Structure formats: C-alpha cells, structure tokens
Structure 1
Amino acid sequence: MKLVVLGLSLSSSWGNGHATTYRALLSAFAERGHDILFLERDVPWYAGQRDLAAPDFCRLAFYDDLAALEDWRGEIAAADAVIVGSYVPDGIAVGQWVQRHARGVTAFYDIDTPVTLAALREGTCAYLSPELIAGYDLYCSFTGGPTLDLLEERYGSAMARALYCSVDTRAYRPMEVPRQWDLSYLGTYSADRQPTLEKLLIEPARLMPDKRFVVAGPQYPDDIDWPANVERIEHLPPADHPAFYSASRYTLNVTRADMIAAGWSPSVRLFEAAACGTTIISDVWPGLSDLLAPNREIIFADKTEQMLVFLHEDKRAIGAAARDRILAAHGADARAAELEQMIGEAALVRQRLVAAE
C-alpha cells in the first residue's frame, strides 16, 4: 500500500503528543510492507526543536504553505490512502484539497477528538468542518465509545472507527536505571489539567517533603508555586521517556476535561508509561477500565489523601501487569494492523459507491 499522511508533526515532539503517536504507528505500518510519505508543514516552532529529522521508516518532506502542496499532487493522486491529521495548519483547506485530488481512500486521523467536537459545536474548529467529515471515507478517532456513533449519525461520517494511540514496545520498555522519583508526571501544561496536577502531585509534595517528585513538559506558567521537592524538566525528548518512567516509582496520568467528558480517550503517555512497567495512578473517566483493569493494571485516584496512602505502598506488580496488557493489545504492531484493516474496509465501501454511480 502507498500511504500519504499530512500530520501536525513527525519531526518534532516539542509541545505535542502527535509526533510520538505517528512515529510508533507508521514505523509498524512500514514493517508490514507499506510505503509511506509524511508531509509536514514547515513551521518555526517545530523547525527549531526537531528530534527526528530523518526517519528510517518513511519519507519525510516539508511544505511551506497550501500552494506548495501542489508539488505533491501526483503523490496524493497515486496513493492508495491519504490521511489528514488533526491540528494541521489550514487543515480545512488541506482537507478540501486532498478530497479533490486523492483517488484512493481519504481519511481523517483525529488525535484530539473531544477537543475537535467541542470546537465544531462552537464553530471555532480551524482544521475540520462538518462538510469535511462527510467527505472523508474514514474517520480514525482517538476516542471510542459513543463518540463513534455521534460522528456517523450527526456528522455523516461514512465510517468512524477507534484508532487509539499506540506505543513502540521495543523502544518503551523497563530500563535498568536508579529510582530517582517517587511520583512523576510528563505532559505539556494545560489549564484544565492543572487543578488535578495540583491535587494529585503538588499538594502531596508539600505534605511529603521526604518524597521526590518531578514534572516534565513545557509551557508551565512562571507563577506556579512548585514545592522544593518537585523537580522541573522543561522538555524531555521521546528517546528519554523510557528512562524517565523507569526512574519513577509511580507516574501520574492526568486527562483533559473534554476527554474525560467523552470517555474512551487514552493518551499516548498512558500507554508509554505502562509499556515501561511503571505503576500508573490516573484520574477516572469512562472507558479507562476497559483498557486497563482497576487495582490490577492501574490505580485510580481523585483525592490528595489517596496519594498520601499510595506513596507509602509498593505497587510494582500493578505496573508489571499493565505492561503485559500493553504488549498483548496496545502495541504499535497491533494498531498498524487495525489501520490496515480499516483502510481496506473503507476502500471496499468506496469501490461500491463508485460502481453504483
């Protein structure tokens, strides 16, 4: 299969979870024998922070603006499938251009489905419109559950399927490193996540000065009052994630409000941490228990007092069980096979529609 992907970024993981998702998925997809071209908008904030400028599993090319996509029109037309990702700059215009020129399956890969749907309701989505949803042959969603029915019934998607994020289990694995922290958190600052981070990490740090904490990720405001036992790491490249998780006794998973409301929206960080065998403490939302079993493969918490108890206990067996679950069902190999099947199904539907015309 020849696949073209127009995504937010493959080259830079700075301030986004898209790059690591694409890297794991497309690397596994290439191993299944497929040819991949990734087209990335050349923007200064990623150009200065590239940590994968020359991937070995696909061709990576940059374009300056919508007009520059004309240079790739032949590749788009010849592809068996073309995927446009969420948050692509000028994504509506890019999607319209792809739907005009692609001859194979067209798909939208939404790595931010609840955020997308909220923006669509408010009429503020810059990368997707209701008309585009109906025009794509396939809608691959980071969110499963009832959201898939909503996409088909309200927005006219021809085929909405859950394509959760995945993890490269060869890269994300337990590392033999010294334990540095009792509790870690890896994530870009988000205003709607910050109250949970305060409750489940910052306040426990204040109350447990003998424990060690770390928060890794960019864009945190300067006015946050970090306790002295909370280490800050501004940016942690993906290559350093396995060692980071392996150096953590527990790691925290905090979910954005829109994704909690939608449910069935696991983040890539959740799968990465689990693949490293680190015991995860997470906020609670619908569908999470379908992915990792509570108290056996993951721990749920919503109060500071719970954290004070957990941080005095040894729950390593839960982290080991979560890793087993990820290896069995949520690795990049499994996700690439799912994408291949979805594209095949969409191609059959497309062929039937063309024949009917």
Structure 2
Amino acid sequence: MKTIAFYGSSLLSSYWNGAATYYRGMLRALADQGYRITFYEPDVLDRQAHRDIDPPDWCDVVVYAGNAQGLRRAATAARKADIVIQASGVGFEDDRLLQQVMANARDGAIRIFWDVDAPATLQALRDQPGHPLRAVLPHLDMVLTYGGGAPVVRAYRDLGARDCVPIYNALDPATHHPVPAQQRFACDLAFLGNRLPDREARVAEFFLSAARRCPDQRFLLGGSGWAGLALPENVRLLGHVPTADHNALNSSARLVLNIARDSMAATGFSPATRVFEAAGAGACVITDAWEGIEMFLTPGQEVLVARDGADVAELLTSAQGNAYGRIGARARARLLAEHTYAQRARQVDTLFARQMMHERAGVLL
C-alpha cells in the first residue's frame, strides 16, 4: 500500500480553515484509491477547540504542538512515507516546515507542494525574490494547485517548478447533498465565508449592497470575523457555521451566493468549495463573475452569474423565481457527472503512478 504524509492546516476543523472541505474530499477519495494517509496539522488558531469531525477511519491524524519542537517531530515523520505533501497555508512556520519536511523525505519519495491559494502564493513569490519556496521549487517533483488554470501553471513553471497541475475543487456527494429545509436558516440569500482583507470589499459590493437594495428580502451572513460590522437590518449574522450545518443552510436558502476573493477572481479558474457544497445540496448558486466558470457549470442554466450587487438584487427580485429550483437540480446533476472528488482522485493517482515510474526508471539507470 502506498503511503502519504500530508501536512496541512487542519483536517478536523473548518474554523478559519476554508480548505477543510477540499482536504476531506480529496483525501477520502485517495484513500478509496488504496493510499494510506497520515495528516499532520498544528495545534494553532484555536482550531482544535472547534473540531467539526472526529478523526476519520480513512486517514490517521497527528496533531502536533505549534512550536519548534512539535514542528521538528512532525517533519521527521516524513521519512516514513512514499509520497510527501505539504499544502500552503498550514498556519505555523510554513516555510520552515516545508524545508524540514522535504529534507526529511527519503530518497525515492515523491515530493509535492499542494497550493490551496495559488494566486496569493504566487504574488508573495513575485514580491519576495528571496522567498524560501523559490529555493525549494526546483527540487520538488510537482506542484498541485486548488485551481488557477493555465495562468497559474505557467507562473509556477516560470519560477522553476518541474511541473504544475491544477486539481480543482469538486463534490463529495456523501458529505454534501440535499436535506430538508430548516427554519433557522430560512432566507432569500445566504453567504458563507470568513472575513478576510481581500474579500471584505467584494462582500460589501455583492452581498451588503444587494441587501440594501432589497429591504424586503432576508439575508444570512455566515463565517468567522464579521462581528462588529455594521449590517443592514435585513441581514442576520450567524457567525461560524460548522460543516455539519452546511447542507441545512444550503438547502434552506432560496439562493446561495459565492464571492471569490480578489486574487482568485482576478486569476479565474478557481471555483470555491462553497460552489460545490451548495450546488451539491441542490441550491441555486449565484456567483460573482470570474473567467472559467463554464468549465464547471453553465451560466444561466446551472449557475447564475452576477457582475455586482445590482445584478444580485435583480436576480433576487426576478419573476423567474420558480426556475431557481431547476437550476440547482441541473447543477447538482452536472457535478455528479463530471466533478466529484472520486474523479479528481483518479487524476491524482495517475500523476503519482507516472512519477513513481520515473523514479524507478531513474534507479534502474
């Protein structure tokens, strides 16, 4: 059995951790492909106090202390794995962790950097010629990314990566699916996302301005960090929404809004986990406009696209409201047919198998 040591922010908690859905869907599907996986996550940012799931039976989880000694012990464990992966955005000494993890990987192991926020990482690399990742990239076997398409692939190759392959977000139908609506989440438009500097202005434009334009509509704002923000009277603040409640939220709202962060919207080809979670639950999704959406869902038929808050308000008050349920159903059918984590895992398995063949050929030579 092939073994993976995966270093990421958290598998157990989605608290200030938007990658949780992606990790869970990808790694569960890879386990189904026959991989034995150990996930290493630091005890930082109060995530362990906000766990969404117990340690699963398809992945071992090691929670290490958020200090130099804990990092060193976790990095040393990399030598036991056939495939060593570090994700971006771990949350504690990421650069030092990457250096130590890859230094501890044994000869012949596949070394991978898995970037779950490629636009931000690439901007940091452009701004910092001495960034530690620049020195590590040429020694890695490949970079995998959460999204970004051809622009991200070109950028990573230009920086010295041997290869870069986008592994897009997807649907895990065992986790995200339609459930009965719940009154506590009843609303006309729901948005779920943490308050981040490069998202806040877009939330103000696409969500809050739409709420002000539609005073008779009900809005729900979920996610961490929004407390203290001045909100219109028709917006109800939920705070952190555990992943166990995502299906109920998405199944109860008349429409669900996705808002990309600045860098992801500018780069394009970066569908957020929220799109797949909501559409997987059968919700009709409104997304802000970004290049590449048609690779995943067809605008107007499987997803609604808004250029600004005025567009969102128009969709909310449209006489076509009866069509929204059909749009959500078509979106779910499209994702089940073309965009599941099982399909993504087969893609990753093929990449790993090809790289292992190269490693063996190198040994034989």
Alignment TM class, shorter chain as reference: over 0.9
- 1:70-93 Cα offsets, whole Å, 9 max, x none, are 545674223120110101222222
Amino acid corresponding to residue 182 of structure 1 in structure 2: D
* AA partner of residue 94 (structure 1): L
- 1:1-357 → structure 2 map (5 Å cutoff): 1-64=2-65, 65-68=67-70, 71=73, 75-88=77-90, 89-103=92-106, 104-123=109-128, 129-143=133-147, 144-152=149-157, 154-178=158-182, 180-220=186-226, 222=228, 224-312=229-317, 313-314=320-321, 315-355=324-364
CA contact (8 A) 1:137 1:350 kept: no
Is the contact between residue 138 and residue 343 of structure 1 (CA under 8 Å) also seen in structure 2? Answer: no
Kept after mapping to 1: 8 A contact 2:72/2:100: no
Q: 1:218 to 1:155 in 2, by over 3 A?
A: same
Query: Any idea what the Cα deviations from partners look like across 1:226-267, whole Å, max 9, x if unmatched?
Result: 112111111100111011000011111101111122111111
**Conserved in 2, the CA contact under 8 Å of 1:7 and 1:40?**
yes
Q: Distance in 2 between matches of 1:216 and 1:287?
A: 26
Instruction: After TM superposition, give the deviation of residue 214 of structure 1 in Å.
Output: 0.2
CA RMSD of aligned residues (A): 2.0
Q: Find the residue that maps to 2:221 and give its secondary structure.
A: strand
* Sequence identity percentage: 32
1:218, distance to aligned residue in structure 2 (A): 0.6
- Deviation (angstroms), 1:125: 9.4
After TM superposition, give the deviation of residue 178 of structure 1 in Å.
Answer: 4.4
Distance in 1, matches of 2:165 and 2:100, equals 23
Three-state SS of the structure 1 residue aligned to 2:175 is: coil
Asked if the contact 1:138/1:159 (under 8 Å) is kept, the reply is yes
Q: Distance in 1 between matches of 2:42 and 2:303?
A: 37
Instruction: Give, in angstroms, the shift of residue 190 of structure 1.
Output: 2.1
CA 1:191/1:91 → structure 2, altered by over 3 Å: closer, same or farther? closer
- Cα distance in 2, alignment partners of residues 257 and 132 from structure 1: 27
Q: Is the 8 A contact 1:3 1:81 kept in 2?
A: yes
Quick check: 238-247 or 201-210, which moved more? Answer: 201-210
CA distance in 2, matches of 1:125, 1:258: 22
> Deviations along 1:111-136, whole A, 9 cap, x unmatched?
0100101111112998x611112221
For 2:25, give the aligned amino acid.
A
Q: CA deviation at 1:205?
A: 1.8
What amino acid is the match of 2:14?
A: S
Q: Which letter does structure 1 place at the counterpart of 2:81? A: A
Kept in 1: contact 2:190–2:221 (CA 8 A): yes
For 2:362 and 2:100, locate their aligned partners in 1 and report how far apart those are by CA, in whole Å.
21
Distance 1:62 1:305, change over 3 A: closer
Deviations 1:254-305 (A, max 9, x none): 0111112211111111111111111111111111222211111111112333
Pick closer, same or farther for the CA change 1:157–1:174 going to 2, 3 Å: same
Give the secondary-structure state (helix, strand or coil) at the position aligned to 2:113.
strand
Secondary structure class of the residue paired with 2:198: coil
Residue 11 of structure 1, CA deviation: 1.7
Structure 2: distance between partners of 1:298 and 1:118:
29
TM-fit CA distance, 1:332: 1.6
Deviations along 1:187-229, whole A, 9 cap, x unmatched?
001233223322322222223222111010011251x221121
Offset, 1:10: 1.1
Which residues of structure 1 form unaligned runs of 5+?
none
The answer to whether the 8 Å contact 1:116/1:125 transfers is: no
Structure 2 stretches of 5 or more lacking a match?
Answer: none
Taking the aligned partners of 2:328 and 2:216, their CA distance within structure 1 comes to 23
Higher deviation after alignment, 46-55 or 243-252 = 46-55
- The answer to whether the 8 A contact 2:84-2:102 is kept is no
Which 10-residue stretch deviates more, 51-60 or 246-255? 51-60
Q: What does the per-residue CA deviation read over 1:42-84, in whole Å, with 9 as the maximum and x for residues that have no partner? A: 2252122222242221111122244445545674223120110
TM-score w.r.t. the length of structure 2 is 0.90
The offset of 1:355, in angstroms, is 4.9
**Residue 347 of structure 1: CA displacement?**
2.2
Tell me if the contact between 1:119 and 1:125 (Cα under 8 Å) persists in the aligned partners: no
Is residue 143–residue 164 contact of structure 2 (8 Å, CA) maintained in 1? yes
Cα distance in 1 for partners of 2:363, 2:55 equals 38
The total of aligned residue pairs comes to 353
